[in-house]
Amino acid sequence: MEEQPQQQRAKAASLPPAMLVLLPMMLVLLVSLGGCDILPSGTVPPAVPPKPLAIRFTVTDLATFKTSPIAESNRPSSTLTAFGLPDKTLKHSSRLPTGVIVRGINRYGQIIGEYTYGSKEAFLWAPFEANGAQGQMIPLNQLFAVPSSITIEPQAINNDGQIAGISTGGMFLWTPTQPNALHGAITFLPWNGEGFISGLNDWGQVVIDASSTNRGALWTPTHPNGTAGNITLIAPVSSDTSMDLGGINSYGQVIGQSYQGSQYSHAFLWTPNTPHGANGTTTVLHGDGGTVAAINDYGQVNGSTINSATFLWTPNHPNGTQGKLTSISSLQGGELDFYDITPAGALVGTSFDDNNHAVVWLPEAPNSPHGKLLALGSIGDDTDSNAVAINASGEVIGFSCSLNHSVSEASCTNQPHLFVWDDAHGMHDLSTLLATTSSFIFDETAVLNDAGQIIVLAHDKQQVGHLLLLTPEPA
């Protein structure tokens, strides 16, 4: 997985293996207005009481991984990568499958990732129909028609099924002949040197982050989802010496952060002069350090400052370069981290207080800079919870357990419970919403698409790991 900034790695190390969240590069804005009141220690607003939820999920076993031959201490790190943010990862406990990386799932239900067990293989799982529970696993070397000697690492997929990533042949963009088709052409992007893909939008624009260097770039096709295009260089702010580029929205706005030495100096937003344009303007969002997390299609950006203050920046008009900073406080005065943002500006994450609380920040109106912070609760008698992703419909996924906070690296004292939450029905244990009885024991989830499909890591009674796709059944 891509290296994270030092302060993020330190914060991630304080979380338990079963709830360890390596946050995406988060470029941050100054805090000013609004947020929520800080509550006295031990006081948390009540969660939405659960209401009956009629939805049921069909379980598809995408892949099975035998884990017993590898000693626990020698296991490589395994990660799930959150939808739309290639560097947002959720590490799971050591008994789970080794080297499984799910890079994303698009609105159609196509999944990209890779698996390392002796050798490394990248894959696309493609449903036979949109959001279907049945499909096929295709090695990317086969799909791309390139020799097996070329190592492929997919890093982003858009809703049309374009796939961008890095390989031993160079950075690439694979484009299907028609949306979500299984035939297409590969384009090697004109970029020399190290780096990775940090963003891909539905127009087919690709963000290239040359981490720890003084450059980054945006590749823009000459026409929507085209295979020919041009590179635009994006430079660090002011006198900063290096930079990181993050995500991109449908308009072509790019978020990033630039720094001197090991300290972040400026969080910024790059906005094209015209939609999907190759030339643009850089707006400094915050000049005292910090990181950004995500950007939505309206142009709202969320992140946190170097002092762990959490913010939401909202443009004065859609995709504008001037806007308003909203400070958002945690439930009880601890740290507050948001990992995802919806098109309407809802945020999801965790309030790290006396206990960890899954939270969602809901705007008063779509894309409003004002809103309220809600505690989502936990499953059963669990004392801690963490929300990791939210889709355009406001469905939230995450996990809960009871943490032992008396040790330096708190760990779950029980089997974590995966949950799904929405504002109308509250929190429900995901394992109780399956269409048929299952012997799988769910371990973690961090991937969700706008159709409500969820990717889950699980194991069975033989401690064999499984990569599962949960697909909501039609009402």
- Predicted confidence (pLDDT) per residue in 285-331, tens digit: 876 767 788 999 999 999 887 776 788 999 999 999 999 989 898 88
Identify whether 1 is part of a domain. Answer: no
Asked whether the whole model's pTM tops 0.85, one would answer no
Residue 15 has pLDDT above 70, yes or no: no
Give me the pLDDT at residue 437, please: 78
Residue 9 has pLDDT above 60, yes or no: no
- Provide the residue range defining the domain that includes 388: 16-472
> DSSP H helical segments within 145-276, as ranges?
none
How would residue 438 be classed by pLDDT, with cut points 50, 70 and 90?
confident
Identify whether 100 is part of a domain. Answer: yes
Identify whether 5 is part of a domain. Answer: no
Number of domains in the chain: 1
Handedness of CA 424, 427, 431, 432 (dihedral sign): negative
Q: How many whole angstroms separate alpha carbon 444 and alpha carbon 442?
A: 6
How would residue 118 be classed by pLDDT, with cut points 50, 70 and 90?
low
User: Measured at the alpha carbon of residue 330, what is the angle toward residues 326 and 336, in degrees to the nearest 5?
Assistant: 85
Give me the pLDDT at residue 207, please: 96
- Residue scoring higher pLDDT (375 or 37): 375
**pLDDT > 70: what percent of the chain?**
77
Give me the pLDDT at residue 244, please: 87
Mean of the per-residue pLDDT values of the chain: 80
Q: What is the mean pLDDT of residues 429-441?
A: 87
- Using only C-alpha atoms, the chain has a radius of gyration, in whole angstroms, of 21
How would residue 47 be classed by pLDDT, with cut points 50, 70 and 90?
low
Q: What is the mean pLDDT of residues 252-267?
A: 82
Q: Which residues contact 51 (CB under 8 A, 6 or more apart)?
A: 424, 425, 426
Identify whether 9 is part of a domain. Answer: no
Q: Which DSSP string corresponds to 111-172?
A: EEEEEEESEEEEEEEEESSTT-S-EEEEEHHHHHT--TTS-EEEEEE-TT--EEEEETT--E
Identify whether 3 is part of a domain. Answer: no
> What is the pairing mode between strands 100-105 and 79-81?
parallel
Residue 79 has pLDDT above 70, yes or no: no
Identify whether 10 is part of a domain. Answer: no
473 touches 55 (CB < 8 A): yes
Identify whether 4 is part of a domain. Answer: no
Q: What is the mean pLDDT of residues 21-30?
A: 27
- Predicted confidence (pLDDT) per residue in 133-162, tens digit: 999 999 999 999 999 889 999 999 999 999
How would residue 70 be classed by pLDDT, with cut points 50, 70 and 90?
very low
Residue 246 has pLDDT above 70, yes or no: yes
How would residue 87 be classed by pLDDT, with cut points 50, 70 and 90?
very low
CA dihedral 281, 287, 293, 295 (to 10 degrees): -30
Top mean-pLDDT range of 42-46, 125-129, 257-261, 332-336:
125-129
- Residue scoring higher pLDDT (157 or 32): 157
Mapped onto helix, strand or coil, the DSSP state of residue 205 is: coil
Give me the pLDDT at residue 53, please: 66
Q: Which DSSP string corresponds to 61-126?
A: EEEEE--TTS-GGGPPP-EEE-TT-TT-EEE--TTS-TTEEEEEE-TT--EEEEEEESEEEEEEEE
27-31, 169-173, 270-274, 391-395, range with the lowest pLDDT: 27-31
How would residue 273 be classed by pLDDT, with cut points 50, 70 and 90?
very high
The CATH number that applies at residue 62 is 2.130.10.120
How would residue 52 be classed by pLDDT, with cut points 50, 70 and 90?
low
Identify whether 201 is part of a domain. Answer: yes
Give me the pLDDT at residue 218, please: 95
